[in-house]
Amino acid sequence: MRILVTGGAGFVGSSLALAFKHDNPSAEIIAADNLKRRGSELNLPRLRDAGIRFEHADIRDPEDLSALGPMDLLLECSAEPSVQAGYSGSPAYLLDTNLRGTLNCLEAARRHDAALVFLSTSRVYPIDPLRALPLETENEGLAIPPGAAGQGWSAYGIAEDFPLDGHRSLYGATKLASEQFIEEYRAAFGLKAIVNRCGVLAGPWQMGKVDQGFICLWAARHLYGGKLSYNGFGGHGHQVRDVLHVADLYDLLVRQLDDMSVSATGVWNVGGGDTNATSLRRLTGVCTARAGRELEIAAQPDTNPADIPWFVTDARRAMATFDWAPKRSLDILLDEVFDWLAAERDVLQPLLS
Ligand SMILES: NC(=O)c1ccc[n+]([C@@H]2O[C@H](COP(=O)([O-])OP(=O)(O)OC[C@H]3O[C@@H](n4cnc5c(N)ncnc54)[C@H](O)[C@@H]3O)[C@@H](O)[C@H]2O)c1
């Protein structure tokens, strides 16, 4: 078994590479990454110590991918993963990596007859209909009132049949376009590909920054000190997201890879769900208690064009189909993140504070 993990030094890529190696010690696992994300280089010693080979490679360049050789499974975890990317200045890097680069990965999988896992995103769902949901404020966060529901939405969250008309951010568009090419590769070439539309993923070794990885950013700033701001939607910090521990994503992938006749069809919403959802303001309370430090949090009322007030993943289809449920609650996740931040303070504080 030869597994190629593109973006293999990133948060999800390195977490999955390590988990696959742990459970399949005889598998040859290659983590390929161009180290664009600041902090990804910190994962290189962890990969090496686990017996995973690192290759500096850029998915924008088909020759880089060819040089990596054949594989049985390609986990496509490389991306510019920020929904804010491309708005200030040129979107070229975003488009070249998330669209052209993903197409290069599809080609590599086709050439080598490899199975593919594609990490799509909840941000394929369009912005205006998400902003139009009938949200109410309760317990310092936005929520769908009990009983309210429409096509593809309810208090459980957003399901796969939420209508797709409308704009969805440059990032979301690269992911939806990639999904459509995967569908074509399935039909034209019999590509076996799992497409998971993931909500927020988090866990230790996520190099949180203001525009991506807010759980680790919030925890790090509370522990180490630094500035934070409630951005958008009036600056109240009431926007809500559900969060999935990356180890729960791995558990799901193991089940999905076990039966690709089912998993390699359509798309799957994957997330922590309503029981693991938090507003920024509630997260502040939890982080303050854990860090023993209260930060003064600024308010920036203006809303960024790519931002949405509420997203909770309705993952009930994947849960029922694969007999899977997230096992690690948001509390457990935060315990692990705070432990990691404390243990690795010397290297992480300069990066994350
Ligand atoms: N983290 C989340 O909350 C989340 C949610 C939904 C979907 N996803 C998707 O999961 C995947 C992994 O995201 P992540 O959170 O690990 O992000 P990350 O930034 O931690 O990891 C991405 C890695 O890709 C690398 N990379 C960027 N451009 C590259 C290129 N051209 N060639 C090779 N490597 C390149 C980066 O250096 C980085 O190490 C992405 O596709 C992302 O869109 C993430």
Kindly give the distance from the C-alpha atom of residue 81 to the centroid of ligand 1, in angstroms, as a whole number. 5
63-82 pLDDT, tens digit per residue, is 999 999 999 999 999 999 99
Q: Which of 56, 63, 201, 244 to mutate to test the pocket of ligand 1 (most atoms within 8 A of CB)?
A: 201
Query: Closest residue (by CA) to atom 11 of ligand 1?
Result: 77
Q: Which of 12, 68, 103 to mutate to test the pocket of ligand 1 (most atoms within 8 A of CB)?
A: 12
Residue 27 contacts residue 21 (beta carbons within 8 Å): yes
pLDDT value for 347: 97
CA-angle at 33, arms to 24 and 226, nearest 5° = 105
Atom of ligand 1 nearest to the CA of 198: 6
198 CB near ligand 1 (under 6 Å): yes
Share of the chain above pLDDT 90, in %: 100
pLDDT value for 339: 98
Pairing state between β 298-300 and 229-231: parallel
pLDDT value for 64: 98
Query: Closest residue (by CA) to atom 2 of ligand 1?
Result: 201
Average pLDDT of the chain, as a whole number: 98
13 CB near ligand 1 (under 6 Å): yes
9 CB near ligand 1 (under 6 Å): yes
Kindly give the distance from the C-alpha atom of residue 124 to the centroid of ligand 1, in angstroms, as a whole number. 16
Rounded Cα gap, residues 333 and 324, in angstroms: 18
10 CB near ligand 1 (under 6 Å): yes
| Tokens (6 digits) for 10 | 């990133």
Mean pLDDT value across residues 324-340 = 98
Kindly give the distance from the C-alpha atom of residue 296 to the centroid of ligand 1, in angstroms, as a whole number. 30
Pairing state between β 240-245 and 298-300: unpaired
Kindly give the distance from the C-alpha atom of residue 24 to the centroid of ligand 1, in angstroms, as a whole number. 23
Q: Which amino acid is at 56?
A: H
Mean pLDDT value across residues 124-142 = 97
pLDDT value for 160: 98
Kindly give the distance from the C-alpha atom of residue 246 to the centroid of ligand 1, in angstroms, as a whole number. 13
Residue 35 contacts residue 9 (beta carbons within 8 Å): yes
Strands across the sheet containing 153-154: 149-150, 153-154, 157-158
121 CB near ligand 1 (under 6 Å): yes
Report the residue count for the chain: 353
Residue closest to 101 by CA, chosen among 177, 13, 200: 177
Q: What element of type H or E holds 174? A: helix 170-189
12 CB near ligand 1 (under 6 Å): yes
Q: Band of the pLDDT at 115, cuts 50, 70, 90?
A: very high
Atom of ligand 1 nearest to the CA of 93: 31
CA-angle at 36, arms to 56 and 17, nearest 5° = 60
Rounded Cα gap, residues 127 and 98, in angstroms: 19
pLDDT value for 224: 97
244-292 pLDDT, tens digit per residue, is 999 999 999 999 999 999 999 999 999 999 999 999 999 999 999 999 9
- Radius of gyration of the chain, Cα coordinates, nearest whole angstrom: 19
Q: Band of the pLDDT at 298, cuts 50, 70, 90?
A: very high
Beta-bridged to residue 313, according to DSSP, are: 158
Kindly give the distance from the C-alpha atom of residue 289 to the centroid of ligand 1, in angstroms, as a whole number. 30
> What Cα–Cα distance (Å) separates residue 68 from each residue in 8, 15, 196, 263?
13, 20, 25, 26
